[in-house]
Amino acid sequence: MTAADETPLLPEVLRAYPYPWDNAFVWTSEAEDEETLAYARAVLEACLPPEPLAAPEPPEEAVVDDSSDDGYPEWTEIRAVLRERMPYARYVTAERMAEVEAECARRGLATTAFQEVWTRRITAWIAEQTLYWCGLMVDDEAALTPWLMDLAERYVRRGMAAATAVGALTGTRSVPESRAALARLATYEGLPDGIRESVAYALRQS
């Protein structure tokens, strides 16, 4: 069975995403043409959750000290299985997600609300990559204004890719719209402490 015969779990604009969903950063730094920027905006609009998430997504990347006995968290093993079965967004389908869930259950890994949780996390990783590219790799800030600033602020408020969204605002803080968004976020009561500290730091650098 090919992906074309399966039931997609992501919207069409994300299924066209040409990069692996799990990489920290793979957008090319050379592509800043109007079409690429329009696609980046469409991706961010499609990834944005309609309301604040109950818990931030995606999980913070695990850093394990060689001397630690804790090891990597369980979710990283689940992500590795997902990478094997659906490396690109076009392969994120109900059928493959069910296969991964069955494999994770066989390994004794958590499978509660599996499809919902992991579809949301894959979406969040795609959003992170796109926000990173827009905020830190695109030189034409005028082409990002004001849509990137608006979307980045909403990502922070809704708890998806929040740290990267703050980074995008920080990277474009020479633009008044970015500074204004950071100022509003500084007074927003719903921010986790770490994100609040990042916002405060960005404002001090403005």
Task: Give the per-residue pLDDT at 49.
Answer: 98
Q: CA 27, 44, 120, 55 torsion: positive or negative?
A: positive
Q: Are 93 and 9 in contact (CB under 8 A)?
A: yes
The Cα–Cα gap between 177 and 128 comes to 20
141-190: pLDDT as tens digits: 999 999 999 999 999 999 999 999 999 999 999 999 999 999 999 999 98
Structure-block tokens of residue 52: 């604040």
Question: What's the confidence (pLDDT) of residue 205?
Answer: 86
Indicate the pTM of the whole model. Answer: 0.93
- pLDDT tens readout for residues 127-142: 999 999 999 999 999 9
38 pLDDT above the threshold of 60: yes
Q: Quick one: angle between helices 114-136 and 94-106, nearest 10?
A: 110
Name the 3-class secondary structure at 165.
helix
